[in-house]
Amino acid sequence: MDTSDPDIVFNEDGTCNHCTDYMLRINPLFDDPKKNEEKVRNLIDQIKSKGKGKSYDSIIGISGGVDSCYTAYYAKINGLNPLLVHLDNGWNTELAVQNIHTIATKLDLDLETIVLDWSEFREIQLAFLRSSIVDIEIPTDLAIPAALHQMAEKYGVKTILSGGNYSSEGILPLQWGYHVMKDMKLYQYIVRKFSKVKREKTPGFGLWEEFYYKMIKGIKTYYPLNFINYHKDEARLILEKELGCQFPYRKHHESRYTRFWQSYIMPVKYGFDYRLATFSTQICSGQITREEALEQLKSLPYDPETIEKEKLFIRKKLQLSVEEFDLILAQRPLTHKDFPNSKKRINFVYSVYRFLFQKK
């Protein structure tokens, strides 16, 4: 990590606050393998019990990346019968589509794909690009949990299993991405101000939706990869060897839009390299060494030989002119702080929830 994160602080040993927090808060979670094994076994038994007599015992969102594919694999080998749900926002790579169908076929799991209305979703994405906010993935990030919870309600399922995990994504500076992603106030403001459409067909997921599904419908989300010794490269090899999956080298690159955002827009416009957070997480979790990370950082985050072709693809799909695209890249970078948002309210609600329901 470096000072491209304006909030970073280094101690006298040269260790930043992100890594210190990871070592103090997250690493201790993995100190007792037997206890974690018991936790995950109890979770699996609980899911099976809740799913008795139903078509499915859980819902798994699948993107075609390593984390979500391995979550489906782990659920299957432990006797669960999940429904795979994929949100198609129009940006899948061929590899992602191939992996999704490979997982569903090889593991004999049902798959439902929710396809977003492209004409509306394209305008929403353009609104976020034109706003100059760094969080251009908010529309997708809020559509995914909405889709998963809708499917859970449809089939009477009480459990959602997520591939999110601390071992490969435990570090991400707030200035690089708005962590309070359920901010519908911010979302709606940007759509109203920078687009000509009303968000009618694209699902969203705010505080009310979370309260409804969690408290009224009793649908809970769990992160099984946080209970096991999850090593992304080892998981990749298992999925490639046993199921025949193929994966892009970098995290989240199963989406062409996310790949372009993280590898090009973020470093070129906003001045930070997403790989720093990913590598720092992997160093803290013991998956790579600092020397290995520094060696990889010697290369650009994007391929200079193919980037012009990729820019052309993104522009054409979004129906952007060269002039407007260049103007968007030249605009002053902004964060959630520059727009009306509900961060204080969201933090307050979460703190109350933790106090009432997550006491030890």
For 270-290, the pLDDT digits (tens) are 999 999 999 999 999 999 999
d(CA 304, CA 31): 42
- Residue (of 152, 150, 144) closest to 55 by Cα position: 152
pLDDT tens per residue, range 160-196: 999 999 988 899 998 888 776 799 999 999 999 999 8
53 exposure class (CB count in 10 Å sphere: 0-12, 13-18, 19+): exposed
**Alpha carbon of residue 55 to chain centroid:** 27
* Alpha-carbon distance values, 140 to 62, 106, 107, 210 (Å): 13, 27, 27, 16
Q: How far apart are the first and last CA of the chain?
A: 33
Q: Across the beta sheet with 82-88, what order do the strands follow?
A: 111-115, 82-88, 58-61, 159-161, 220-222
Beta-carbon contacts of residue 325 (< 8 Å; ≥ 6 apart): 311, 314, 315
pLDDT tens per residue, range 112-142: 999 999 999 999 999 999 999 999 999 999 9
Do 252 and 266 form a contact (C-beta atoms < 8 A)?
A: no
| Nearest 10 degrees: Cα torsion 224, 180, 360, 58 | -30
d(CA 78, CA 309): 43
**pLDDT number for residue 353:** 79
**pLDDT number for residue 180:** 65
The pTM of this model reads 0.93
Look up the CATH number of domain 17-357. 3.40.50.620
- What is residue 306's DSSP assignment? T
Domain ranges of the chain: 17-357
Predicted confidence (pLDDT) at residue 239 exceeds the cutoff of 80? yes
Give 34's pLDDT tier (boundaries 50, 70, 90).
confident
**pLDDT number for residue 355:** 80
Q: Which residues pair with 114 in a beta bridge?
A: 87
Do 63 and 86 form a contact (C-beta atoms < 8 A)?
A: yes
**Alpha carbon of residue 142 to chain centroid:** 10
Do 57 and 32 form a contact (C-beta atoms < 8 A)?
A: no
Average pLDDT across the chain, whole number? 93
pLDDT tens per residue, range 69-83: 999 999 999 999 999
Angle in degrees, 0-180, between the axes of helices 307-318 and 118-131, rounded to the nearest 10: 120
- Residue (of 196, 205, 186) closest to 338 by Cα position: 186
d(CA 313, CA 232): 30
- Residue (of 227, 238, 280, 318) closest to 69 by Cα position: 238
Concatenating the DSSP letter of every residue in 72-133 gives HHHHHHTT--EEEEEEE-S-B-HHHHHHHHHHHHHTT--EEEEE--HHHHHHHHHHHHHHTB
Largest CA distance in the chain: 58
Do 89 and 115 form a contact (C-beta atoms < 8 A)?
A: no
**pLDDT number for residue 360:** 46
